[in-house]
Amino acid sequence: MIYEDILYSVDGAVATITIDRPDRLNAIRGQTIAELEDAITRASREEPVAVVVLTGSGERAFSAGGDMNWEQEGGLEQLEWRIGNLLLDCPKPVIARVNGYAIAAGNHMAYFCDFTIASEHSIFGQNGPRVASPAGGYPVSHLAGIIGHKRARELWMLCRRYSARQMLEWGLVNAVVPKEELDAEVARWCADLLTMSPTALKTVKRSFARIVDRTPNSTILDEVNPGFFASGEQAEGASAFLEKRPPDYSKWR
């Protein structure tokens, strides 16, 4: 695959996958998702890669989530989110290098990676219920195993914003450093991982992956509201976001 939305590079035994849409705060669209799926699969299989780093271009965002123009055009309707599964099933340790906003899908990816290392100015949070983006299944429930049910529900249902330090306290982030030290900190974690037995790491990671319920979002959404996209609720959320106004969900309550 020829990449347009991401960058892929290998330095020694470390592969780096970079979401490269800084003008859109590294927001993702269908093409970005397809490229990320391809790159994660590639890094999973490629030798001599032993550690994978996932990040975003620039200092403003890891990823601000779904590109709302793409969502408004109906991009979510046929989407089946597989990136969480690919990160869980990657046999190699994956580090999220977070520099700036990690919102919605950006936050998903950060907490599905094995380790999350963030700069001090990074901001975390979800956006789904705010913009009627109906995330469900394992991408949502996996967070409860990381930070606990009460905090996971707060993060998902209220769509508040949280500092990197607070996410460190909650357990979503492993380390927080000044932005000028971020690359050195990520390199240190990579170096430590490269001293470990690859087979032992694969065994440990597979053991953690086994505890995740892989129920897909489409199954959950069909149970809750099989006519969701035709109802106009998602269109209202996307339009309100793009028009910079509060959404009105009163007719769907």
- Kindly report which listed range (5-9, 88-92, 143-147, 223-227) carries the lowest average pLDDT score: 223-227
Average pLDDT over residues 22-40: 96
Confirm whether pTM is higher than 0.75.
yes
For domain 6-180+195-209, which architecture applies?
Alpha-Beta Complex (3.90)
Average pLDDT over residues 127-149: 89
- 103 versus 79: which is more confidently predicted? 103
CA distance 184 to 181: 5
CA distance 159 to 246: 14
Among 124, 73, 70, 132, residue whose Cα is nearest residue 102: 124
Neighbours of 60 (CB within 10 A): 15
Among 215, 90, 86, 67, residue whose Cα is nearest residue 140: 215
Q: Which amino acid is at 143?
A: L
Q: Kindly report the three-state secondary structure assignment for every residue of 81-142.
A: CCHHHHHHHCCCCEEEEECCEEECHHHHHHHHCCEEEEECCCEEECCHHHHCCCCCCHHHHC
pLDDT tens across 141-191, in order?
999 999 999 999 999 999 999 999 999 999 999 999 999 999 999 999 999
Average pLDDT over residues 20-40: 96
Asked whether residue 217 carries a pLDDT value surpassing 70, the answer given is no
Average pLDDT over residues 235-249: 87
